[in-house]
Amino acid sequence: MAGTSHAEGLWPEFRGPTAQGVSTAKGLPTEWAPDKNIVWRSEVAGKGWSSPVVANGKIFITTAVELPVDPAAAAAAAVAPAPVAPPVVKAPGDATKRPAPAKKAPPPAPKPVSLHVLGLDAATGKTVWDTQVLKVTDPAALKMHGKNSQASPTVVYEPGRLYAHFSHHGTACLDEAGKVLWLSQENGYTPQHGTGGSPVIVDDLLIFDADGAKDPCVVALDKATGKTRWKIARPPTEAKSKFSFCTPLLIEVAGQKQLISAGSGIVQALNPKDGSEIWHVMYGTGYSVVPRPVFAHGMIFMSTGYDKPVGLAIKVDGKGDVTSTHVVWQETKYVPHNPSMLVIGDELYMLADNGLLSCRDAKMNTVHFEERLLGPSSASLLYADGLIYAIDEKGASAVVKPGKTLEVVATSELKEKTLASMAVCDHDLLIRTELALYRVGSGRANAE
Q: Are residues 162 and 56 in the same domain?
A: yes
Q: What is the pLDDT of residue 5?
A: 37
Determine, yes or no, domain membership for 311: no
What CA–CA distance (Å, rounded) separates 299 from 259? 13
How many domains in the chain? 2
Q: Whole domain around residue 188: which residue ranges?
A: 52-67+110-196
What CA–CA distance (Å, rounded) separates 266 from 260? 11
Q: What is the pLDDT of residue 145?
A: 85
Determine, yes or no, domain membership for 436: yes
For 324-383, what is each residue's pLDDT tens digit? Answer: 999 999 999 999 999 999 999 999 999 999 999 999 999 999 999 999 999 999 999 999
The answer to whether the beta carbons of residues 251 and 241 sit under 8 Å apart is: no
Which amino acid belongs to residue 414? L
Q: Are residues 359 and 442 in the same domain?
A: yes
Which DSSP state fits 404? S
Q: Cβ atoms within 10 A of the Cβ of 146, count?
A: 6
Determine, yes or no, domain membership for 318: no
What CA–CA distance (Å, rounded) separates 212 from 124? 39
Q: Are residues 163 and 29 in the same domain?
A: no
Determine, yes or no, domain membership for 59: yes
Domain of residue 159, CATH code = 2.40.10.480
Q: Are residues 30 and 62 in the same domain?
A: no
Domain boundary among 136, 162, 196: 196
- Mean pLDDT, residues 387-414 taken together: 98
The answer to whether the beta carbons of residues 314 and 328 sit under 8 Å apart is: yes
Q: Is the pLDDT of residue 303 over 70?
A: yes
What CA–CA distance (Å, rounded) separates 111 from 104? 20
Q: What angle (nearest 5°) sits at the alpha carbon of residue 206, between those of residues 194 and 391?
A: 50
For 256-288, what is each residue's pLDDT tens digit? Answer: 999 999 999 999 999 999 999 999 999 999 999
Residues in the chain, total: 448
Q: Are residues 419 and 396 in the same domain?
A: yes
| Nearest Cα residue to 332 out of 266, 295, 286 | 286
What CA–CA distance (Å, rounded) separates 83 from 19? 55
Q: What is the pLDDT of residue 70?
A: 67
- What are the helix (H) ranges across 161-319? none
Q: What is the pLDDT of residue 442?
A: 80
For 36-85, what is each residue's pLDDT tens digit? Answer: 999 999 999 999 999 999 999 999 999 999 998 766 555 554 554 545 55
Q: What angle (nearest 5°) sits at the alpha carbon of residue 383, between those of residues 386 and 358?
A: 100
Q: Is the pLDDT of residue 414 over 90?
A: yes
Determine, yes or no, domain membership for 87: no
Spatial neighbors of 199 by CB under 8 A, at least 6 apart, are 153, 156, 163, 165, 171, 206, 207, 208, 247, 248
Q: What is the pLDDT of residue 448?
A: 47
Domain boundary among 181, 196, 211: 196
| Nearest Cα residue to 216 out of 224, 204, 208 | 208
Three-class DSSP category at 239:
coil
Determine, yes or no, domain membership for 75: no
Q: Are residues 181 and 57 in the same domain?
A: yes
426 preceded by a cis bond (ω within 30 of 0): no
Q: What is the DSSP string of 41-110?
A: EEE-SSB--PPPEEETTEEEEEEEEEPPPPHHHHHHHH-PPPP-PPPEEE-TT-S-EEEPPPPPPPPPPP
**Strands 217-222, 228-233: pairing kind:** antiparallel
Q: What is the pLDDT of residue 447?
A: 47
For 429-447, what is each residue's pLDDT tens digit? Answer: 999 999 999 999 987 655 4
For 209-254, what is each residue's pLDDT tens digit? Answer: 999 999 999 999 999 999 999 999 999 999 999 999 999 999 999 9
For 139-180, what is each residue's pLDDT tens digit? Answer: 887 888 888 899 999 999 999 999 999 999 999 999 999 999
Q: Is the pLDDT of residue 205 over 70?
A: yes
Q: What is the pLDDT of residue 113?
A: 94
Instruction: Give Cα separations from 410 to 399, 413, 416 (angstroms).
Output: 5, 11, 18
What are the residues facing 201 on neighbouring strands?
206
Domain boundary among 145, 171, 196: 196
Q: How confident is the model at residue 86 (pLDDT cuts 50, 70, 90)?
A: low
Q: Are residues 162 and 39 in the same domain?
A: no
| Nearest Cα residue to 333 out of 314, 354, 316 | 354
Q: Are residues 39 and 116 in the same domain?
A: no
Q: Are residues 38 and 151 in the same domain?
A: no
Q: How confident is the model at residue 8 (pLDDT cuts 50, 70, 90)?
A: very low
What CA–CA distance (Å, rounded) separates 213 from 359? 34
The answer to whether the beta carbons of residues 230 and 267 sit under 8 Å apart is: no
Q: Are residues 365 and 444 in the same domain?
A: yes
Domain of residue 399, CATH code = 2.130.10.10
What CA–CA distance (Å, rounded) separates 252 from 269? 11
Determine, yes or no, domain membership for 302: no
| Nearest Cα residue to 420 out of 43, 220, 154 | 154
Q: Are residues 60 and 25 in the same domain?
A: no
Determine, yes or no, domain membership for 372: yes
Q: Are residues 57 and 40 in the same domain?
A: no
Percent of residues, the chain, with pLDDT higher than 90: 81
